[in-house]
Amino acid sequence: MDHRELIGESIGTLLLNKMRTGLAMLGIVIGIGSVIALLSIGEASQKSITAQIQSLGANILTVSPGAERNGLVRGVSGGGTTLTYDDAMALSSDKTLTAIKTVLPIYNSRSQIVYSASNTNTQVYGITPEYLSARNIKVATGANFNQSDLNSITNVAIIGPTVLTSLWGDSAQDSDALGQNIRIGALNFTVIGVTETKGGGGGNNQDDLVYIPLSTAQKKLFGVKYLSSIIVETTGQDVMTQAMNQIGYTLLDRHHIKDVAKADFSIRNQQDMLNAVSSVTGTLTSLLSGVAAISLLVGGIGIMNIMLVTVTERTREIGLRKALGAKNRLIIIQFLMEAVMLTFIGGIIGILVGVIIAYIYAKSTSGLFIVSISAVFLAFFVSTIIGIVFGWYPAQKASRLQPIEALRYE
């Protein structure tokens, strides 16, 4: 019997009981599908976040309040309100800080946005007029607010495309929002601009933001005197360390802190953020893939049970084959082939299921759709190994049956 006959007979045998074959493959389908989907979604999320961080520029530093250790200093616990607008202005106006090019103070918080009968909940960024151009965010329709709006604490807002469609509908044009009043929290704001699409998935959607003057955010909307962060653009990537030192020691002096270890702020560069993102997403993907791998184990055990039942049902057939001269090796190959066919077909279906899940997730979150080729090859390899490992014992059991005893089996 050649390999084509073995494959044909294995497929024919599996098709004799379609329900049992389908149930046997279900665990493999779920396991492989989960692994493919999770690895694809994890890789897409990591690339999306990485692209957004890199789009900010290679010479960007983020100064944050608090205890996180990154770069020059480590803050104390509970220091989340320690950065102020005056701190940002001190960094911006000090001509001795030669490594600093642009300073962008920010206060951001979530808020409910309402227009007519529509509403959405998103991040509201209190910023200065320089923020949008420094972060390569363009106003597609309308205009940016100016220093006069900042000084006058004006209630004006620039919205992202996602906010536009959430409030005005999917078919809305940018011009539909210009000049209209929206309510942010308890205050009314006039929409003066809509930004161009930048993209991003899930909680990192840069189109799902509202920008208002920093003074309005602090003094009117949220009633705070501190900043969420200060973004600093350096004069070049080669002066990052120098800039971190200049920022750090300037803020230490302003906050009257002599011990660097007791600093109430932290400074991060882009590489720190990229490393943190890669570490977190990699760990989560590995953990989730490990959970999905458990279903592969369960699926493998299910296939072994099905094959053992098959051996019992086909005892007389095995006895007849051995009586006609079939060798143990042929019996083993036949049953292994059936087990591998189960896992192989289940693996293909699982890959398709995983790709479909990843595609649906990408579409629903406006994120990237990436199919991990390495994960696909891994799925084929794992499914084949499962078929061999969990099919070996039933195949061995079948080959060891004695012809006379097998023929007498009822």
Q: Tokens representing 190? A: 């006039």
Q: Is the pLDDT of residue 76 over 50?
A: no
For residues 211 and 279, membership in a common domain is answered with no
Range of the domain at 377: 3-52+275-408
389 occurs within a structural domain: yes
In 315-327, alpha helices (H): 315-323
361 occurs within a structural domain: yes
84 occurs within a structural domain: no
Please give the average per-residue pLDDT across 66-71, as a whole number: 53
71 occurs within a structural domain: no
341 occurs within a structural domain: yes
Which has more pLDDT, 251 or 408? 251
172 occurs within a structural domain: yes
Q: Tokens representing 181? A: 């009043």
Q: Is the pLDDT of residue 74 over 80?
A: no
Q: Is the pLDDT of residue 389 over 50?
A: yes
In order, the DSSP letters of 97-119 are -TTEEEEEEEEEEEEEEEETTEE
Tell me which of 12-21, 195-204, 290-299 is least confident: 195-204
Instruction: State which H helix or E strand residue 168 sits in.
Output: helix 161-168
Checking phi first, is residue 351 left (phi over 0); if not, alpha (psi -120 to 50) or beta? alpha
Could you tell me whether strands 187-195 and 139-142 are parallel, antiparallel, or unpaired per DSSP bridges? antiparallel
In 255-269, alpha helices (H): none
Q: Is the pLDDT of residue 121 over 60?
A: yes
- Rounded to whole angstroms, how far apart are CA atoms 176 and 168? 8
Of 201, 233, 265, which residue sits at a domain end? 233
pLDDT tens, position by position, 134-146: 888 899 999 999 9
**Residue 299 · residue 27 · CB < 8 Å:** yes
58 occurs within a structural domain: no
**Residue position matching structure tokens 């042929």:** 330
Please give the average per-residue pLDDT across 238-254, as a whole number: 91
For residues 404 and 290, membership in a common domain is answered with yes
Please give the average per-residue pLDDT across 274-296, as a whole number: 72
Q: Is the pLDDT of residue 340 over 60?
A: yes
Q: How many domains does the chain have?
A: 2
239 occurs within a structural domain: no
212-227 burial by CB neighbour count: b if 16+ within 10 A, else e? bbbbbbbebbbeeeeb
Q: Is the pLDDT of residue 307 over 80?
A: no
Instruction: Determine phi and psi for 140, rounding to 5 degrees.
Output: -75, -40
